[in-house]
Amino acid sequence: MEQHTISHQEMDSAKALVDINLKVSEATNLLFKLQEQETEYLVLREKKAMDRIQKVVDDSKEMVEEADQNHAQIKALLSGISEFVDKLLKFQENLTDLLRDFDERNVAWEQDIGRQQDEIASTRQRLKAEKVQIENDSKSLESARIKLTNDQRKLDSDRGTLERTIKRLKEGKI
């Protein structure tokens, strides 16, 4: 076997190389750990960002659903108001016809017509007030419909009474 003699200086150099290799290995391991920590940190940050984005998407979806519901309610209210306005127009048309019939039939009913006109003006004022209330409060729509129906019955009843009175006048019973 051959023997090699290593000087003290060579020994120190070899030891220094071994220490350097150890330090390089430690630095490499530390670098790998830092890269793992960086990856974990980035994954965590990305998850937090995705959670926030998902929350914004969910909130936006909920807001769109609420807007759709509000739109449907507004359309339903518009339909109810349109129906009510149609009934008001029919009611007004009936009132106009009734007043024309009164004027054409007989001058003797003039006092009664004055009373009827006062009632009509009062009814119109109530209907205008109810119309404003309907625009502001959809719950009052049903009570306004009921009132309109009752007023229509009264008008029909008054028309029937007047027609019977006209018939009696023509027959000379009054």
Across residues 11-38, what is the average pLDDT? 86
Q: What is the pLDDT of residues 61-85, one digit of tens each?
A: 888 888 788 787 878 888 888 888 8
Output the pLDDT for position 155.
93
Q: For the full predicted model, state whether its pTM sits above 0.85.
A: no
Confidence check: pLDDT of 25 > 80: yes
d(C-alpha 116, C-alpha 161), whole Å: 13
Domain boundaries, the chain: 15-171
Q: Which DSSP string corresponds to the chain?
A: -------HHHHHHHHHHHHHHHHHHHHHHHHHHHHHHHHHHHHHHHHHHHHHHHHHHHHHHHHHHHHHHHHHHHHHHHHHHHHHHHHHHHHHHHHHHHHHHHHHH-GGGHHHHHHHHHHHHHHHHHHHHHHHHHHH-TTHHHHHHHHHHHHHHHHHHHHHHHHHHHHHHHHT--
Q: What is the pLDDT of residues 154-172, one digit of tens each?
A: 999 999 998 998 888 888 8
What token pair was written down for 62? 């909920």
Confidence check: pLDDT of 138 > 60: yes
Q: Which of 19-28, 64-73, 118-127 has the lowest mean pLDDT?
A: 64-73
